[in-house]
Structure 1
Amino acid sequence: MTAADEAASTRNLIARRNRLLGPAYRLFYEQPVQFVRGEGVWLYDAAGDRYLDAYNNVASVGHCHPHVVQAIARQAAALNTHTRYLHETVLDFAERLLATFPSEIGHVMFTCTGSEANDLALRVARTCTGGTGFIVTANAYHGVTSALTELSPSLGHPLQEGSHARLIPAPGSGDGTGEVFAQHVSDALDDMRYSGIRPAALLVDTIFSSDGVFADPPGFLRPAVEAARAAGALFIADEVQPGFGRCGSHMWGFARHGLVPDLVTMGKPMGNGHPVAGMAARPELLAEFGRRSRYFNTFGGNPVSAAAGIAVLDVIASEGLMENAQRTGAYLVELLSELQARHELIAEIRGAGLFVGVELRHGGAMGTPATTEAARIVNLLRERRVLISSAGPHGNVLKIRPPLVFGKEHADLLVDTLDQALAELSVAAE
């Protein structure tokens, strides 16, 4: 396929997509790309060219991992139904999954998406606390249901008048992060009290993915959670993005802060591309919720999804992917730090394991956000067949979140390509 043929094919696909799916869906990159195959850290386009995937945590143990593919196919060939019939696979999955949590977390309920898991967590929090107020960070993303859109300011929807949600600044970097963030939570609780709103929960993505990736220092979340609990609110840890060993040192992002949440939500990487998600909880909360409410999800916890989830846990353990995330993540940060010394646009490098944010600013850490430059770099990398994205309220944080099989040789390629993109950007600015 020639370049002209490929461009024509892309235009036709975009036109067909717009005609059939409508305008609400969005595509990545100035030049959208069509993928037809994936393997490990690589995605392949229709022309057979491969792209280094440094963004997609959904395929957490690598695209089309054979152990996961075989588990899905084997179970799909035997039986797939819902959780109102007895079936051992969902119980096996629950046992395996709960074994990765602190002992205080004793139950799990399965859904299909992280949005559903977070929506369920809201219901449990409201039921068990009697509260209606939720605190989230100012550029958070927690899901796409009606309830969660209000709690996902990164989607761009302003809070409605009379909303019971309160938005607080994301944590910053450096000393005092924990105390400052806890003060923001306390201020939000005071405002709820003044408005006659009973708090239900503090809901945070434990690596603050959409806010721009904030991971350090470990433990900074504790004062904020203590403030929320003192006011009668629950702590919901959204582990959809930081969970399943991505942070390297721990299986779950909340564990880096020495915390035991009341509710934990999971999704994206749970089935390596198969739609598996869930909410884990303290048993006393689900006892109260079950006494006063009922919940059913037709596809959540079905045998095929459970088989996929078990297979993902198998691979994380057998291939040492948590250790790889810590080892390769540290190597990646080291390379990026060397890059920072050569490119003044890089203001700060943050993250844990294989979840890294590279903040771009003009004039150093206190300078103006380099929003346009970040978008250009993402597209320059795509042109060089390396995939990343951006995050943060200004879109100026390069978001690096590859499959957990990402190795040092892939980190070398990523950083070399980023070096080229930054150099091209610098030349163009002169």
Structure 2
Amino acid sequence: MVANGKKVDLMIRNASVLTPEMNVKVNQCVVIDHSNILEIGDDELISLSYEARETLNAEGKLVMPGMIDAHMHTCQQLIRGRITDEYPMIWTRIMVPYESNLREEDVKTSAELSFLEMIKSGTTGFIDAGGTYMHKVAQSAIQSGIRGAITCSTMDSGEGIPESMKKSTEENIRINKELYQNFHGAGDGRLDVWFSLRSIISCSPSLIQSTFEVANELGTGVQTHMNEYPNEVRYCLEKYQKRPFEFLASLNILDVNFLAAHGILLSENEMDIIKDHDIKIAHCPTSNSGKGFTKTPSLLHKGVGVALGTDGAGHTGLNLFDQMKVLKSLMRAFWGVSIFDPKILPSAKILEMATLGGAKALMRDDILGTLEVGKKADMILVNIDQPHIEPTHNLIHTLIDSCNHQDVKDVIVDGKIVMKNREVLTMDEERIKYESKKQMKEIAVRASL
């Protein structure tokens, strides 16, 4: 370090760095100032030009972009382990009673536990599918230091859904708009507020159109669960004589700000609609595996932006390292074996889906998703100096095959260290775990789970 060098907030020295081209450069220095990446280059040369307020020694570590969970439910932490091995329909039998009995304190604790788990798994950004008491989610996200997008759960119809969970078009828009006005851009710009539709089955055409119109006026995103279940496709065919994406296209509302979660049961025409409107898809490999096999290779071949999600703790953990492994195995087994193509979905592409793909889904790929000068300093440091990772002929392959969330040692979001050597600095982990256990028992009684 040079005493008279340019003063910066943070330097990461002696690092291996994942490049945007999915190569690994060694002996690198990453310079961070005012939440952005200022410079990346040879450690011996770069480090001489700066005087950092804080320095991280990344020897034996890989610095890579933070991963982005493009579809999850912050409200589902208190139902973990309950729906596995259950017969359909878990939505009306279990999820509806659970969500309709959530209280403000439950949502707050569930959100805190979500952010704690994501940070400790190397996830620096998220897109929440929506719920109730979302102001508590917003406050918890701001406190945790994580980046993401939140929305309200929006429904006005649907069988098996209690009236307390349904609201008129006007009321749904008012509540989501109020959330937008209060929290969009909060946390130094880390928090976005989107609009959502829970599903086509539970939203009227009037609500669907109004949601898109208001979101477009405000310049923000829209998301919904799409083509996840056969009954959803059947409903649209019977009611509208069109498949789900065909129905939305007929309303002339689709645009680049639309994120469709799951996207399992897609026709060729629907995939063309997705491509033509630059719609982003969020696959959730573990959750999706019980419903069908996604057409991920075909979507990518068409140039569709595909991201990865966990679908929340109700279905799995909030761990994208696991999702990458599951996706790799599913695609190889279902699509690759039949045509003898073992690299039907290469590891580098899967890693890109979890990083840059998530940034595109979040509509923030101009500032997130890759480690480049000028982009936001959202990154994780992975300990690769371990017998299950090194030595390796190809570190990208090994990240997918062998790496796990425990290998993430440090997490940086917006240029600030939020986890250092596995300790989350922005949250009280012991309190959150204690309150989670207590509240899980209480809601199980209230919801008769």
Q: Does the TM-score normalized on the shorter chain lie above 0.5?
A: no
TM-score normalised by L of structure 2: 0.28
TM-score normalised by L of structure 1: 0.29
Relative to total residues, which structure has the larger strand share, 1 or 2? 2
